[in-house]
A and B are shown apart, each in its own frame.
Chain A
């Protein structure tokens, strides 16, 4: 079974631009979560989607948004990029999206904002 696939692997953007990251979950997994990983703040929860509905959201500004499609694929968008948005963005899928379902992470998209 294929794992979680994130595209692109690397991105370089300029301040003020916007970016869209894509995530394809493991087949059959309906929950997709997004995390930001930085050396200073570690892994931080962005949001979680299940059956196209956002069920939970972290403490990030409204510039960070996401969506999930009917095939469970998900995208996250960051608008008006800031230098501090440089990070590894990780997508994770799970079968049920509850506390008993482990997260399966993708290899991430490394975003650099210049």
Chain B
């Protein structure tokens, strides 16, 4: 089967750094993406890694190691508005067919 594993919940304080890990086991691999979803909202795209290494976009960075089938999302200088669910997703078979992880609920406290 195809599966992505990520922690169900993470808690952190404002200003801190948090890392959300994602390991995957899929048939086919067209890159690892991360999406953020606030309660009642739509998922929004954060980052995409097709090749090994680190991608940085502002306070958010994403890392991929294809040999380890592993990636992570790093959120720095946490703000209250970062409280949301974060999903990793692997492209399989092309054409926007993504397999999503179950999501990590991040709670940021003052």
Contacts and interface: CB of A to CB of B under 8 A. Distances in A.
B100 interface: yes
Interface in B63-106: 87, 89, 91, 93-103
B60 interface: no
Contacts of A56: 93-97
Contacts of B99: 45
A102 interface: yes
A99 B60 CA distance: 20
A87 interface: no
B44 interface: yes
B42 A99 contact: no
B41 interface: yes
Contacts of A42: 87, 100-103
Interface residues of A, number: 28
A25 B63 CA distance: 30
Nearest to B41: A107
A43 interface: yes
Q: State the majority secondary structure of interface residues on A.
A: strand
B48 A102 contact: yes
Contacts of A99: 30-31, 48, 50, 91, 94, 96
A33 B48 contact: no
A50 B97 CA distance: 13
A100 B43 contact: no
A43 B97 contact: no
B43 A102 contact: no
B42 A107 contact: yes
A111 interface: no
Contact of A106 (B42, B95, B96, B98): B42
Interface stretch (A13-21, A60-68, A70-78, A89-97): A89-97
B33 interface: yes
A48 B97 contact: yes
Given A43-B100, A99-B50, A48 B95 contact: yes
Report, nearest first, the 10 A-B pairs whose CB atoms are least far apart: A102-B45, A99-B30, A43-B100, A105-B42, A56-B95, A55-B95, A99-B91, A33-B96, A56-B97, A105-B43
